[in-house]
Chains A and B, each alone.
Chain A
Protein backbone atom coordinates (compact mmCIF):
# COMPACT_ATOMS: atom_id res chain seq x y z
CA UNK A 1 0.00 0.00 0.00
CA UNK A 2 2.65 2.50 0.89
CA UNK A 3 6.40 2.47 0.90
CA UNK A 4 7.92 -0.49 -0.86
CA UNK A 5 11.59 -0.93 -0.23
CA UNK A 6 11.83 1.94 2.23
CA UNK A 7 14.91 0.18 3.62
CA UNK A 8 16.98 1.11 0.57
CA UNK A 9 17.81 4.78 1.09
CA UNK A 10 17.24 6.58 -2.20
CA UNK A 11 18.35 9.92 -0.86
CA UNK A 12 20.39 10.27 2.29
CA UNK A 13 21.20 13.67 3.75
CA UNK A 14 24.15 12.96 5.97
CA UNK A 15 24.45 15.77 8.55
CA UNK A 16 24.23 18.47 5.91
CA UNK A 17 25.18 21.97 7.03
CA UNK A 18 25.10 25.01 4.77
CA UNK A 19 26.43 28.40 5.74
CA UNK A 20 26.00 31.48 3.55
CA UNK A 21 27.54 34.87 3.82
CA UNK A 22 24.75 37.39 4.38
CA UNK A 23 25.78 41.07 4.62
CA UNK A 24 29.21 39.97 5.76
CA UNK A 25 27.76 37.80 8.52
CA UNK A 26 27.70 34.01 8.34
CA UNK A 27 24.13 32.73 8.09
CA UNK A 28 23.36 29.11 8.87
CA UNK A 29 20.73 28.17 6.28
CA UNK A 30 20.75 24.52 7.19
CA UNK A 31 22.11 22.93 10.34
CA UNK A 32 22.70 19.23 10.88
CA UNK A 33 20.06 18.18 8.35
CA UNK A 34 19.90 14.42 8.58
CA UNK A 35 17.24 12.61 6.63
CA UNK A 36 16.77 9.38 4.76
CA UNK A 37 14.22 9.09 1.99
CA UNK A 38 13.30 5.61 0.76
CA UNK A 39 12.80 4.58 -2.84
CA UNK A 40 9.37 5.56 -4.20
CA UNK A 41 8.58 7.51 -1.10
CA UNK A 42 6.67 10.79 -1.37
CA UNK A 43 8.08 13.21 1.17
CA UNK A 44 6.88 16.77 1.64
CA UNK A 45 8.86 19.42 3.44
CA UNK A 46 7.08 22.32 5.15
CA UNK A 47 8.31 25.13 7.32
CA UNK A 48 8.40 28.89 7.74
CA UNK A 49 10.37 30.95 5.24
CA UNK A 50 14.08 30.87 5.88
CA UNK A 51 13.98 27.35 7.33
CA UNK A 52 16.29 26.08 4.61
CA UNK A 53 13.83 23.82 2.83
CA UNK A 54 14.91 25.05 -0.61
CA UNK A 55 18.53 24.87 0.45
CA UNK A 56 18.10 21.20 1.31
CA UNK A 57 16.46 20.54 -2.05
CA UNK A 58 19.19 22.39 -3.92
CA UNK A 59 21.81 20.31 -2.13
CA UNK A 60 20.06 17.15 -3.30
CA UNK A 61 19.75 18.60 -6.82
CA UNK A 62 23.48 19.26 -6.87
CA UNK A 63 22.93 22.97 -7.45
CA UNK A 64 24.77 23.90 -4.28
CA UNK A 65 27.46 22.15 -2.28
CA UNK A 66 26.96 21.86 1.49
CA UNK A 67 29.50 23.55 3.73
CA UNK A 68 29.85 20.24 5.54
CA UNK A 69 28.12 16.89 5.37
CA UNK A 70 27.12 15.15 2.19
CA UNK A 71 24.04 14.09 0.24
CA UNK A 72 24.00 10.53 -1.06
CA UNK A 73 21.76 9.49 -3.92
CA UNK A 74 21.63 5.76 -4.56
CA UNK A 75 24.62 5.47 -2.28
CA UNK A 76 26.75 7.92 -4.23
CA UNK A 77 27.80 11.35 -3.03
CA UNK A 78 26.22 14.20 -4.98
CA UNK A 79 28.77 16.44 -6.69
CA UNK A 80 26.50 18.11 -9.24
CA UNK A 81 23.20 17.78 -11.06
CA UNK A 82 22.39 14.43 -12.62
CA UNK A 83 19.76 13.10 -15.02
CA UNK A 84 18.34 10.72 -12.39
CA UNK A 85 17.22 13.77 -10.39
CA UNK A 86 14.54 15.87 -12.09
CA UNK A 87 13.96 19.33 -10.63
CA UNK A 88 10.82 21.44 -10.86
CA UNK A 89 11.08 25.07 -9.88
CA UNK A 90 8.42 27.37 -8.51
CA UNK A 91 8.92 29.90 -11.30
CA UNK A 92 8.41 27.18 -13.95
CA UNK A 93 11.80 28.04 -15.52
CA UNK A 94 10.61 27.20 -19.01
CA UNK A 95 12.85 28.51 -21.77
CA UNK A 96 10.64 31.29 -23.14
CA UNK A 97 12.16 31.16 -26.65
CA UNK A 98 11.34 27.46 -27.06
CA UNK A 99 7.93 25.96 -27.76
CA UNK A 100 6.29 23.48 -25.40
CA UNK A 101 7.66 20.59 -27.44
CA UNK A 102 11.16 22.08 -27.68
CA UNK A 103 11.18 22.65 -23.93
CA UNK A 104 10.17 19.06 -23.27
CA UNK A 105 12.76 17.74 -25.72
CA UNK A 106 15.57 19.92 -24.33
CA UNK A 107 16.88 17.31 -21.89
CA UNK A 108 16.41 14.51 -24.42
CA UNK A 109 18.49 16.38 -26.99
CA UNK A 110 21.28 16.77 -24.43
CA UNK A 111 21.19 12.99 -23.99
CA UNK A 112 21.59 12.68 -27.76
CA UNK A 113 18.36 10.80 -28.19
CA UNK A 114 17.47 10.65 -31.86
CA UNK A 115 14.70 12.72 -33.29
CA UNK A 116 12.03 10.05 -33.93
CA UNK A 117 12.39 8.77 -30.38
CA UNK A 118 12.43 12.31 -28.96
CA UNK A 119 9.27 13.02 -30.84
CA UNK A 120 7.62 9.90 -29.50
CA UNK A 121 8.54 10.77 -25.90
CA UNK A 122 7.47 14.39 -26.20
CA UNK A 123 4.16 13.34 -27.76
CA UNK A 124 3.55 11.08 -24.79
CA UNK A 125 4.58 13.77 -22.27
CA UNK A 126 2.42 16.41 -23.94
CA UNK A 127 -0.54 14.11 -23.67
CA UNK A 128 0.27 13.20 -20.08
CA UNK A 129 0.51 16.88 -19.17
CA UNK A 130 -2.77 17.64 -20.89
CA UNK A 131 -1.10 19.99 -23.35
CA UNK A 132 -2.35 18.33 -26.52
CA UNK A 133 -2.79 21.05 -29.12
CA UNK A 134 -0.23 23.29 -27.45
CA UNK A 135 2.90 21.50 -28.66
CA UNK A 136 3.96 24.46 -30.78
CA UNK A 137 2.84 27.19 -28.38
CA UNK A 138 5.38 29.46 -26.71
CA UNK A 139 5.34 29.64 -22.89
CA UNK A 140 4.05 33.22 -23.01
CA UNK A 141 0.79 31.90 -24.43
CA UNK A 142 0.22 29.38 -21.62
CA UNK A 143 -1.57 29.86 -18.30
CA UNK A 144 0.32 29.36 -15.04
CA UNK A 145 -1.01 25.84 -14.58
CA UNK A 146 -0.13 24.90 -18.14
CA UNK A 147 3.37 26.30 -17.73
CA UNK A 148 3.93 24.22 -14.63
CA UNK A 149 2.52 21.11 -16.34
CA UNK A 150 4.94 21.74 -19.18
CA UNK A 151 7.81 22.08 -16.69
CA UNK A 152 6.78 18.80 -15.07
CA UNK A 153 6.57 17.14 -18.47
CA UNK A 154 10.07 18.42 -19.27
CA UNK A 155 11.40 16.88 -16.06
CA UNK A 156 9.51 13.60 -16.65
CA UNK A 157 10.76 13.32 -20.22
CA UNK A 158 14.27 12.34 -19.17
CA UNK A 159 12.69 9.72 -16.88
CA UNK A 160 14.35 10.57 -13.56
CA UNK A 161 13.90 8.20 -10.63
CA UNK A 162 13.79 11.19 -8.26
CA UNK A 163 11.66 14.32 -8.51
CA UNK A 164 12.73 17.34 -6.52
CA UNK A 165 9.95 19.92 -6.47
CA UNK A 166 10.43 23.38 -5.00
CA UNK A 167 7.00 24.84 -4.23
CA UNK A 168 5.88 23.90 -7.73
CA UNK A 169 2.25 24.91 -7.23
CA UNK A 170 2.96 27.97 -5.11
CA UNK A 171 2.04 30.47 -7.83
CA UNK A 172 -1.21 28.80 -8.86
CA UNK A 173 -4.76 29.59 -7.81
CA UNK A 174 -6.43 27.28 -5.29
CA UNK A 175 -8.52 25.32 -7.78
CA UNK A 176 -5.72 24.75 -10.29
CA UNK A 177 -3.55 23.78 -7.39
CA UNK A 178 -5.86 20.99 -6.22
CA UNK A 179 -6.11 19.68 -9.78
CA UNK A 180 -2.34 19.69 -10.13
CA UNK A 181 -1.98 17.80 -6.84
CA UNK A 182 -4.39 15.14 -8.03
CA UNK A 183 -2.63 14.80 -11.37
CA UNK A 184 0.72 14.56 -9.65
CA UNK A 185 -0.50 11.72 -7.42
CA UNK A 186 -2.06 10.01 -10.44
CA UNK A 187 1.17 9.99 -12.38
CA UNK A 188 3.11 9.02 -9.27
CA UNK A 189 0.77 6.04 -8.78
CA UNK A 190 1.31 4.97 -12.40
CA UNK A 191 5.07 5.30 -12.43
CA UNK A 192 6.51 5.29 -8.93
CA UNK A 193 9.26 7.77 -8.28
CA UNK A 194 10.91 9.15 -5.20
CA UNK A 195 9.53 12.61 -4.62
CA UNK A 196 10.81 15.36 -2.38
CA UNK A 197 8.26 18.13 -2.48
CA UNK A 198 8.80 21.51 -0.83
CA UNK A 199 5.73 23.53 0.09
CA UNK A 200 4.48 26.08 2.58
CA UNK A 201 0.91 24.83 2.28
CA UNK A 202 0.04 22.45 5.14
CA UNK A 203 -2.97 20.89 3.36
CA UNK A 204 -0.86 20.17 0.33
CA UNK A 205 1.89 18.68 2.46
CA UNK A 206 -0.48 16.27 4.20
CA UNK A 207 -2.52 15.41 1.13
CA UNK A 208 0.44 14.33 -0.98
CA UNK A 209 2.89 12.70 1.36
CA UNK A 210 3.89 9.48 3.02
CA UNK A 211 5.85 11.61 5.46
CA UNK A 212 5.85 15.31 6.25
CA UNK A 213 9.13 16.86 7.32
CA UNK A 214 8.46 19.97 9.40
CA UNK A 215 11.36 22.36 9.54
CA UNK A 216 12.25 25.24 11.84
CA UNK A 217 14.13 28.39 11.00
CA UNK A 218 17.20 30.15 12.27
CA UNK A 219 19.13 27.97 11.99
CA UNK A 220 17.24 25.88 9.43
CA UNK A 221 16.78 22.38 10.80
CA UNK A 222 14.35 19.48 11.05
CA UNK A 223 11.73 20.20 13.68
CA UNK A 224 9.52 17.11 13.46
CA UNK A 225 8.77 14.25 11.12
CA UNK A 226 5.13 13.22 10.89
CA UNK A 227 4.06 9.98 9.22
CA UNK A 228 0.91 10.26 7.16
CA UNK A 229 -1.00 7.00 7.50
CA UNK A 230 -3.70 7.89 4.98
CA UNK A 231 -4.31 5.35 2.21
CA UNK A 232 -3.57 5.97 -1.45
CA UNK A 233 -5.20 6.74 -3.82
CA UNK A 234 -6.01 9.94 -2.02
CA UNK A 235 -9.46 10.98 -3.04
CA UNK A 236 -11.71 13.82 -2.07
CA UNK A 237 -13.06 11.48 0.58
CA UNK A 238 -9.61 11.29 2.13
CA UNK A 239 -9.29 15.05 1.98
CA UNK A 240 -12.54 15.42 3.92
CA UNK A 241 -11.88 12.62 6.43
CA UNK A 242 -11.38 13.21 10.15
CA UNK A 243 -7.99 11.53 10.06
CA UNK A 244 -6.87 14.05 7.43
CA UNK A 245 -8.09 16.88 9.66
CA UNK A 246 -6.21 15.46 12.64
CA UNK A 247 -2.97 15.10 10.72
CA UNK A 248 -3.44 18.52 9.18
CA UNK A 249 -3.87 20.06 12.65
CA UNK A 250 -0.82 18.25 13.91
CA UNK A 251 1.32 19.52 11.06
CA UNK A 252 -0.20 22.98 11.33
CA UNK A 253 0.61 23.18 15.03
CA UNK A 254 4.17 22.08 14.58
CA UNK A 255 4.68 24.58 11.73
CA UNK A 256 2.97 27.63 13.18
CA UNK A 257 3.46 27.24 16.90
CA UNK A 258 7.18 26.84 16.81
CA UNK A 259 8.35 30.42 16.37
CA UNK A 260 7.03 31.67 19.72
CA UNK A 261 8.80 28.79 21.42
CA UNK A 262 12.05 29.86 19.77
CA UNK A 263 11.76 33.54 20.69
CA UNK A 264 11.04 32.54 24.26
CA UNK A 265 13.92 30.11 24.37
Chain B
Protein backbone atom coordinates (compact mmCIF):
# COMPACT_ATOMS: atom_id res chain seq x y z
CA UNK B 1 0.00 0.00 0.00
CA UNK B 2 2.98 2.28 0.26
CA UNK B 3 2.92 3.55 -3.27
CA UNK B 4 5.92 5.76 -2.55
CA UNK B 5 6.17 9.49 -2.38
CA UNK B 6 6.73 9.55 -6.12
CA UNK B 7 3.01 9.24 -6.64
CA UNK B 8 2.20 12.62 -5.17
CA UNK B 9 0.36 15.10 -7.42
CA UNK B 10 -3.38 14.50 -7.26
CA UNK B 11 -4.76 13.04 -10.43
CA UNK B 12 -6.70 16.06 -11.61
CA UNK B 13 -3.59 17.29 -13.41
CA UNK B 14 -4.34 14.88 -16.19
CA UNK B 15 -5.61 16.85 -19.18
CA UNK B 16 -9.10 16.73 -20.61
CA UNK B 17 -8.43 14.42 -23.49
CA UNK B 18 -11.37 12.17 -24.14
CA UNK B 19 -9.84 9.09 -25.62
CA UNK B 20 -7.32 8.83 -22.80
CA UNK B 21 -7.18 5.11 -22.59
CA UNK B 22 -4.26 2.80 -22.79
CA UNK B 23 -4.59 -0.66 -24.11
CA UNK B 24 -2.88 -3.00 -26.50
CA UNK B 25 -0.80 -6.10 -26.48
CA UNK B 26 2.07 -4.67 -24.40
CA UNK B 27 -0.08 -3.54 -21.46
CA UNK B 28 1.28 -6.11 -19.02
CA UNK B 29 4.86 -5.28 -19.94
CA UNK B 30 4.22 -1.59 -19.30
CA UNK B 31 2.46 -2.20 -15.99
CA UNK B 32 5.46 -4.31 -14.98
CA UNK B 33 7.66 -1.33 -15.79
CA UNK B 34 5.35 0.88 -13.72
CA UNK B 35 5.58 -1.48 -10.74
CA UNK B 36 9.33 -1.53 -11.07
CA UNK B 37 9.39 2.26 -11.10
CA UNK B 38 7.46 2.36 -7.80
CA UNK B 39 9.86 -0.11 -6.18
CA UNK B 40 12.89 1.85 -7.35
CA UNK B 41 11.30 5.05 -6.02
CA UNK B 42 10.84 3.49 -2.60
CA UNK B 43 14.43 2.22 -2.62
CA UNK B 44 15.72 5.71 -3.45
CA UNK B 45 13.62 7.08 -0.59
CA UNK B 46 15.13 4.46 1.70
CA UNK B 47 18.65 5.32 0.57
CA UNK B 48 18.00 9.01 1.14
CA UNK B 49 16.68 8.33 4.63
CA UNK B 50 19.90 6.44 5.46
CA UNK B 51 22.21 9.14 4.07
CA UNK B 52 19.78 11.66 5.51
CA UNK B 53 21.20 14.98 4.31
CA UNK B 54 18.45 17.01 5.97
CA UNK B 55 18.79 14.96 9.13
CA UNK B 56 15.10 14.22 9.58
CA UNK B 57 13.72 12.19 6.68
CA UNK B 58 11.94 9.10 8.06
CA UNK B 59 12.60 5.80 6.35
CA UNK B 60 9.81 3.93 4.53
CA UNK B 61 10.00 1.39 7.34
CA UNK B 62 9.45 4.06 10.02
CA UNK B 63 6.47 5.35 8.08
CA UNK B 64 5.09 1.83 7.77
CA UNK B 65 5.49 1.30 11.51
CA UNK B 66 3.72 4.57 12.26
CA UNK B 67 0.99 3.55 9.81
CA UNK B 68 0.48 0.38 11.84
CA UNK B 69 0.43 2.32 15.12
CA UNK B 70 -2.11 4.82 13.87
CA UNK B 71 -4.23 1.98 12.54
CA UNK B 72 -4.15 0.12 15.84
CA UNK B 73 -4.72 3.11 18.13
CA UNK B 74 -7.80 3.99 16.14
CA UNK B 75 -6.90 7.41 14.78
CA UNK B 76 -6.18 6.66 11.12
CA UNK B 77 -9.45 5.05 10.06
CA UNK B 78 -11.74 7.66 11.67
CA UNK B 79 -9.54 10.37 10.15
CA UNK B 80 -9.78 8.83 6.71
CA UNK B 81 -13.50 8.25 7.23
CA UNK B 82 -14.05 11.90 8.16
CA UNK B 83 -12.09 13.10 5.14
CA UNK B 84 -13.74 10.70 2.72
CA UNK B 85 -17.26 11.43 3.87
CA UNK B 86 -16.61 15.16 3.42
CA UNK B 87 -15.17 14.74 -0.01
CA UNK B 88 -17.86 12.35 -1.22
CA UNK B 89 -20.66 14.55 0.15
CA UNK B 90 -19.20 17.67 -1.45
CA UNK B 91 -18.46 15.87 -4.70
CA UNK B 92 -21.97 14.41 -4.88
CA UNK B 93 -23.65 17.76 -4.26
CA UNK B 94 -21.27 19.61 -6.57
CA UNK B 95 -21.58 17.32 -9.57
CA UNK B 96 -25.27 16.71 -8.83
CA UNK B 97 -25.87 20.43 -9.31
CA UNK B 98 -23.32 20.97 -12.06
CA UNK B 99 -24.44 18.29 -14.53
CA UNK B 100 -28.05 19.50 -14.95
CA UNK B 101 -26.93 23.14 -14.99
CA UNK B 102 -24.21 22.32 -17.51
CA UNK B 103 -26.82 20.68 -19.75
CA UNK B 104 -29.03 23.76 -19.51
CA UNK B 105 -26.05 25.98 -20.33
CA UNK B 106 -25.13 23.93 -23.35
CA UNK B 107 -28.68 23.56 -24.63
CA UNK B 108 -30.16 27.02 -24.04
CA UNK B 109 -28.23 30.04 -25.23
CA UNK B 110 -29.85 32.45 -22.72
CA UNK B 111 -28.94 30.20 -19.78
CA UNK B 112 -25.38 30.09 -21.02
CA UNK B 113 -25.28 33.86 -21.44
CA UNK B 114 -26.43 34.32 -17.84
CA UNK B 115 -24.26 31.69 -16.19
CA UNK B 116 -21.07 31.71 -18.23
CA UNK B 117 -19.50 34.92 -16.84
CA UNK B 118 -20.02 33.60 -13.32
CA UNK B 119 -18.64 30.13 -13.90
CA UNK B 120 -15.63 31.56 -15.74
CA UNK B 121 -15.03 34.10 -12.96
CA UNK B 122 -15.30 31.65 -10.07
CA UNK B 123 -13.20 29.14 -11.94
CA UNK B 124 -10.31 31.59 -11.70
CA UNK B 125 -10.53 31.68 -7.89
CA UNK B 126 -8.93 28.63 -6.28
CA UNK B 127 -11.58 27.15 -3.97
CA UNK B 128 -9.01 27.38 -1.16
CA UNK B 129 -9.13 31.16 -1.41
CA UNK B 130 -12.81 30.92 -0.48
CA UNK B 131 -11.98 29.21 2.83
CA UNK B 132 -11.43 32.39 4.89
CA UNK B 133 -14.77 33.71 3.68
CA UNK B 134 -16.48 30.36 4.28
CA UNK B 135 -15.15 30.18 7.84
CA UNK B 136 -16.31 33.71 8.63
CA UNK B 137 -19.76 33.11 7.18
CA UNK B 138 -20.33 29.46 8.16
CA UNK B 139 -18.19 28.85 11.21
CA UNK B 140 -15.68 26.05 11.60
CA UNK B 141 -18.04 23.06 11.50
CA UNK B 142 -18.59 20.68 8.61
CA UNK B 143 -20.50 23.18 6.51
CA UNK B 144 -17.66 25.40 5.24
CA UNK B 145 -15.50 22.41 4.33
CA UNK B 146 -18.24 20.61 2.45
CA UNK B 147 -19.14 23.92 0.83
CA UNK B 148 -15.63 24.49 -0.48
CA UNK B 149 -15.43 20.94 -1.85
CA UNK B 150 -18.85 21.29 -3.43
CA UNK B 151 -17.66 24.45 -5.12
CA UNK B 152 -14.48 22.81 -6.39
CA UNK B 153 -16.36 19.83 -7.86
CA UNK B 154 -19.15 22.03 -9.19
CA UNK B 155 -16.94 24.41 -11.14
CA UNK B 156 -14.97 21.69 -12.88
CA UNK B 157 -18.02 19.57 -13.69
CA UNK B 158 -20.23 22.36 -14.99
CA UNK B 159 -17.63 23.49 -17.51
CA UNK B 160 -16.99 19.91 -18.67
CA UNK B 161 -20.71 19.18 -19.04
CA UNK B 162 -21.48 22.28 -21.00
CA UNK B 163 -18.46 21.77 -23.24
CA UNK B 164 -19.70 18.22 -23.76
CA UNK B 165 -23.11 19.42 -24.88
CA UNK B 166 -21.54 21.98 -27.22
CA UNK B 167 -19.43 19.24 -28.75
CA UNK B 168 -22.33 16.95 -29.61
CA UNK B 169 -22.10 16.22 -33.33
CA UNK B 170 -24.77 18.26 -35.15
CA UNK B 171 -25.24 15.43 -37.63
CA UNK B 172 -26.38 13.12 -34.83
CA UNK B 173 -28.97 15.68 -33.76
CA UNK B 174 -30.10 16.07 -37.38
CA UNK B 175 -30.25 12.28 -37.75
CA UNK B 176 -32.55 12.21 -34.72
CA UNK B 177 -34.71 15.00 -36.08
CA UNK B 178 -35.24 13.39 -39.47
CA UNK B 179 -36.27 10.17 -37.72
CA UNK B 180 -38.96 12.16 -35.96
CA UNK B 181 -37.40 12.88 -32.55
CA UNK B 182 -38.85 15.71 -30.47
CA UNK B 183 -36.56 18.15 -28.65
CA UNK B 184 -36.98 16.22 -25.42
CA UNK B 185 -36.16 12.92 -27.12
CA UNK B 186 -33.12 14.43 -28.79
CA UNK B 187 -31.93 15.68 -25.43
CA UNK B 188 -32.58 12.46 -23.56
CA UNK B 189 -31.47 9.97 -26.18
CA UNK B 190 -28.78 11.83 -28.10
CA UNK B 191 -27.36 14.80 -26.19
CA UNK B 192 -27.04 13.02 -22.85
CA UNK B 193 -25.24 9.91 -24.12
CA UNK B 194 -23.12 11.88 -26.58
CA UNK B 195 -21.83 14.22 -23.88
CA UNK B 196 -21.24 11.48 -21.33
CA UNK B 197 -17.53 11.07 -22.18
CA UNK B 198 -16.97 14.76 -21.44
CA UNK B 199 -18.95 14.54 -18.23
CA UNK B 200 -16.89 11.59 -17.06
CA UNK B 201 -13.66 13.51 -17.68
CA UNK B 202 -15.16 16.42 -15.76
CA UNK B 203 -16.10 14.15 -12.89
CA UNK B 204 -12.60 12.75 -12.70
CA UNK B 205 -11.11 16.19 -12.65
CA UNK B 206 -13.77 17.31 -10.18
CA UNK B 207 -13.01 14.46 -7.82
CA UNK B 208 -9.29 15.22 -7.98
CA UNK B 209 -9.95 18.89 -7.30
CA UNK B 210 -12.29 18.03 -4.40
CA UNK B 211 -9.77 15.75 -2.79
CA UNK B 212 -6.95 18.28 -3.06
CA UNK B 213 -9.16 21.05 -1.73
CA UNK B 214 -10.43 18.97 1.16
CA UNK B 215 -7.02 18.14 2.53
CA UNK B 216 -6.03 21.79 2.37
CA UNK B 217 -9.29 22.84 4.03
CA UNK B 218 -8.66 20.41 6.87
CA UNK B 219 -5.18 21.79 7.36
CA UNK B 220 -6.75 25.16 8.08
CA UNK B 221 -9.70 24.29 10.25
CA UNK B 222 -10.88 20.87 11.38
CA UNK B 223 -11.18 18.61 14.43
CA UNK B 224 -10.71 15.39 12.52
CA UNK B 225 -9.57 14.25 9.13
CA UNK B 226 -6.35 13.40 7.43
CA UNK B 227 -5.36 17.05 6.93
CA UNK B 228 -6.06 17.79 10.58
CA UNK B 229 -3.88 14.85 11.66
CA UNK B 230 -0.99 16.14 9.53
CA UNK B 231 -1.43 19.61 10.93
CA UNK B 232 -1.27 18.23 14.49
CA UNK B 233 1.82 16.17 13.59
CA UNK B 234 3.50 19.30 12.32
CA UNK B 235 3.16 20.90 15.77
CA UNK B 236 4.90 17.90 17.37
CA UNK B 237 7.50 17.60 14.62
CA UNK B 238 6.13 14.11 13.94
CA UNK B 239 7.41 13.48 10.41
CA UNK B 240 6.39 9.80 10.09
CA UNK B 241 2.74 10.74 10.72
CA UNK B 242 2.96 13.48 8.10
CA UNK B 243 4.30 10.91 5.65
CA UNK B 244 1.53 8.46 6.51
CA UNK B 245 -0.90 11.27 5.72
CA UNK B 246 0.76 12.14 2.43
CA UNK B 247 0.92 8.57 1.21
CA UNK B 248 -2.69 7.90 2.25
CA UNK B 249 -3.87 11.02 0.39
CA UNK B 250 -2.03 9.92 -2.74
CA UNK B 251 -3.22 6.34 -2.60
CA UNK B 252 -6.84 7.21 -1.88
CA UNK B 253 -6.84 9.82 -4.63
CA UNK B 254 -5.42 7.28 -7.03
CA UNK B 255 -7.99 4.64 -6.05
CA UNK B 256 -10.89 7.05 -6.49
CA UNK B 257 -9.59 8.15 -9.87
CA UNK B 258 -9.17 4.55 -11.00
CA UNK B 259 -12.72 3.79 -9.88
CA UNK B 260 -14.08 6.63 -12.01
CA UNK B 261 -11.86 5.63 -14.91
CA UNK B 262 -13.25 2.12 -14.67
CA UNK B 263 -16.82 3.44 -14.61
CA UNK B 264 -16.00 5.66 -17.59
CA UNK B 265 -14.62 2.78 -19.58
CA UNK B 266 -17.75 0.73 -18.99
CA UNK B 267 -20.24 3.54 -19.55
CA UNK B 268 -18.64 4.81 -22.74
CA UNK B 269 -17.25 1.60 -24.19
CA UNK B 270 -19.02 2.48 -27.45
CA UNK B 271 -16.45 5.18 -28.15
CA UNK B 272 -13.91 4.67 -30.88
CA UNK B 273 -10.67 4.89 -28.96
CA UNK B 274 -7.33 5.43 -30.53
Contacts and interface: CB of A to CB of B under 8 A. Distances in A.
Interface residues of B, number: 20
A158 B179 contact: yes
Q: Which of B169, B190, B270 has the most CB of A within 10 A?
A: B270
A85 interface: yes
A75 interface: no
B43 to A, nearest CB: 43
Contacts of B89: none
A218 interface: no
Contact of A63 (B172, B174, B193): B174
Interface string A52-75: 000000000111000000000000
Contacts, number: 61
B177 interface: yes
Interface in B257-274: 268, 270-272
Nearest to A106: B179
B185 interface: yes
A63 B178 contact: yes
Nearest to A87: B178
Nearest to B273: A140
A138 interface: yes
A110 B175 contact: no
B180 interface: yes
Contacts of B189: 95, 106
Contacts of A154: 179
A111 B171 contact: no
A178 B195 CA distance: 36
| Interface of chain B: mostly helix, strand, loop or mixed | helix
A85 B178 contact: yes
Contacts of A95: 172, 175, 189-190, 193
Contacts of B194: 97
Interface residues of A, number: 27
A233 interface: no
A12 B172 CA distance: 27
A139 B178 CA distance: 19
A107 B193 CA distance: 17
Q: Which of A93, A98, A154 has the most CB of B within 10 A?
A: A93
A130 interface: no
A196 B140 CA distance: 69
Interface in A77-100: 80-83, 85-87, 89, 91, 93-98
26 contacts: A61-B178, A63-B174, A63-B177, A81-B177, A81-B178, A81-B180, A82-B180, A85-B178, A87-B175, A89-B171, A89-B174, A89-B175, A93-B171, A93-B174, A93-B175, A94-B175, A96-B270, A98-B270, A107-B179, A107-B180, A110-B181, A111-B180, A140-B270, A140-B272, A154-B179, A158-B179
Interface of B: 169, 171-172, 174-181, 185, 189-190, 193-194, 268, 270-272
Interface of A: 61-63, 80-83, 85-87, 89, 91, 93-98, 106-107, 110-111, 138-140, 154, 158
